[in-house]
Structures are given as C-alpha cells and as structure tokens.
Amino acid sequence: MAETRKKSQLTVDPHIQRAHTLPSDAYNDPAMLHVEHQTVFSRTWNLVGRIDQVRKPGDYFTTSVADEPLVVVRDQASTLRAYSNVCRHRAGPVASGEGNRKSFQCGYHGWTYSLDGRLSTTPEFDGVECFSKEGVCLPEFNVDTWGPLVFANLSSGGPSLLEVLDDIPERIKHSDIASMKPAARKDWTVECNWKVYVDNYLEGYHIPIVHPSLNRELDYANYRVETRRFYSIQHSPIRVREGQRINLTGTSADQDAQYFWIFPNLMLNVYPDNFSTNLILPVGHDKTLTVFEWYVFDPDRNEVREALNRVIEFSDEIQLEDIAICEAVQRGLRSRTYERGRYSVKRENGVHHFHRLLADCYEEKGLGERPT
C-alpha cells in the first residue's frame, strides 16, 4: 500500500520535458488520502469560511480540515480564533452549525468553554483526582483572513497566508474583491479522486474538446499558465462578442479572466465584475465534494441577481462537462493497462507544478524524493 511504495514511484521530474505524471495508484489507493491529510491538508492554509460569518463578537461557525473538527469564532475582544471542536472530556462536539454564542457547551455531557478556549464548567465532576479545569483549554490553530475569506492552518510552522498568496492581492486589486459580497453557493459531488478534479482545473488543454461553449468565450490561442511557489494562474483573454456569458455585464471590459489555483485545493476565478471560489474537498479516495461560491457587488439588486443567475447557469453547464470527464478519467485510472502519462510542455505546466508540490509533501512520509 502507500506506506510501502518505492520512493521513485511518487517522484516527479523537475523538467516537464522529461517528467511523467503521478502514478495511477496515487489516485486509487485509499491509504493515500490518509497520507495526504497528514502531509498536505494539515500543513497548508485551507479556506474554511467567510468574514461575514464571524463579523461580531460571539459569531462562530464549524467546519473541518483534514478530518480535524474546527470551530472558528470571534471572541469577546474581537480576535478571530480557530479551536478544535472536540471536548477534552470524551471527544464530543463543543459547537455545531453556526451562529452567535457567549460560550461553547459540549453536546455530550455539558462541559462549557469560554470563547477564549478555556474550560469553565464541568458538571458533576467532583471527586476526580489530579484534575484542574483551570489547566484545560481547547487546542488552538492558526487562522487568518484575506478579502472576504477566512483560512485556517493546523500547522504551527510553514509560510504565512500572505506568503502563500504572494502577489495575488496585487494582481487582482483592480477587482476590489474585499467589497464584494457572497451571493450564491452550489455543492457538487463528483465520483473521482480530488486530484483528478484539480488536475482538470489546472489546464486549458481540454477546453476545445470538453467545453465548446466556454471555448467560444475565451481566446484559447492566447491561453497561458504561469506558476509561482504555491499557486498558479491561468490567463485567458475574453473574446469581444455579443451575448457574452462570463461577465455579469456581458462585456469584456478589456480585462482577462484570471483563474488562480492555490495549493492544495482552492480555485479563485476572477472576472472583471465578479469572482467565485471553488473548494475541492476529498470525501473519500474516489469521491470529491466541490463547493462553488459566487461574490458580486450589490447582490440584492434585481438586475445583478438576474445577471448572476445567467453566470451560474453557464457555470453549471461547464461543471457538468467537467464532472463527466473527471469521472471518466477516474474509471480510466483504474485500468490495469494504465500506470502514468506525460505532460504537454505547452499546455500542462500547471498540472506538472501541482504534482511537484504534492511530491514534495509525499517526501515527508518517505514516499518520494524531495524535488530540487
């Protein structure tokens, strides 16, 4: 299984001209997801929510990262915090859903925690020796924000969120995403490994074949992918044409569509007048949840809502096409005749970049050699 792989199996040559893709069992082996929880998701910044969910003291929401249950809260001093949503007694949840609370109470035996994570109440616990509630608190994790988004990181080491984002904030400052508001959300379940879906996102190579309607919107000949340390960006000029379906306004506004991918599982699609996030969450080794959220200016205006509905309709069309091809690829990866492939030097440098970052993470479990 994954723990006994030869190191060479999960290495990816730094030279795309010579490189082979990840092997098929990296997508099919159930043990790989456990490895990725340990070496990828638990050591990177993960999108977990929105600022509007934790705007006031006491506001909170629950989520999970790498199977770690979390509660994110704005404490009474207005500091944003992320705690383990696991009671120190017998592992019950201290919070559920989202809302506003003055304290957290475990849904199992009623142990209560203040918003700064300290244990305050332990019902019917007299007589227990060598125990002091004053020394008990919920484990705390790193949390940070950018624009309207909230991120968490289970690891205490590694780069900061701003270091990971690099120059993305500068690249998209003209879009003023901080002023945009959440307007819609859609969840999709896809019968494929999460990496299959990310691979598909990271190249425009398939657009002319899989997405004919999108291909009419974009200038594919000038489609290019640029890679940075922890992210890549796909640039695609929007064609000037009647009946445009990408922008809310239906015009190109003389700007490119910018498709950012932030390691390991966040897509940020920035258009001249709206942006959307696409979060890729592994449900199992062969099942993935994709969460789309759209942000716009003035989402309550009727004309904006109508335009957004048209954008979402187009997005749904593209998503259904992506689901079909990703599920077909997952079936292909199970073939006994296929082990690994090669990269298009011109079109698949984004996929190669992703695989190199993964290989770097796998190396920490002794599953591959560290990329140079």
Q: How far apart are CA 72 and CA 79, in angstroms?
A: 11
Query: Looking at residue 334, what DSSP letter applies?
Result: T
- Spans of the chain, pLDDT less than 50: 1-8, 252-254, 369-372
The whole-angstrom distance between residue 243's C-alpha and the CA centroid of its chain comes to: 31
Q: Which residue has the tokens 């003035």?
A: 298
Q: What is the pLDDT of residue 366?
A: 62
Cα(24)–Cα(199) distance, rounded to whole angstroms? 13
pLDDT of residue 246: 64
Query: Residue type at 112?
Result: T
In the prediction, which pLDDT does 254 show? 47
pLDDT of residue 364: 73
Q: What is the pLDDT of residue 365?
A: 64
Residue count of the chain: 372
Quote the pLDDT of residue 3: 46
Dihedral (Cα; 91, 94, 97, 102), 10-degree rounding: -170
pLDDT at residue 169, rounded to an integer: 95
Give the residues across from 49 on adjacent strands: 150
pLDDT of residue 62: 98
Q: What is the pLDDT of residue 27?
A: 97
pLDDT recorded at residue 255:
56
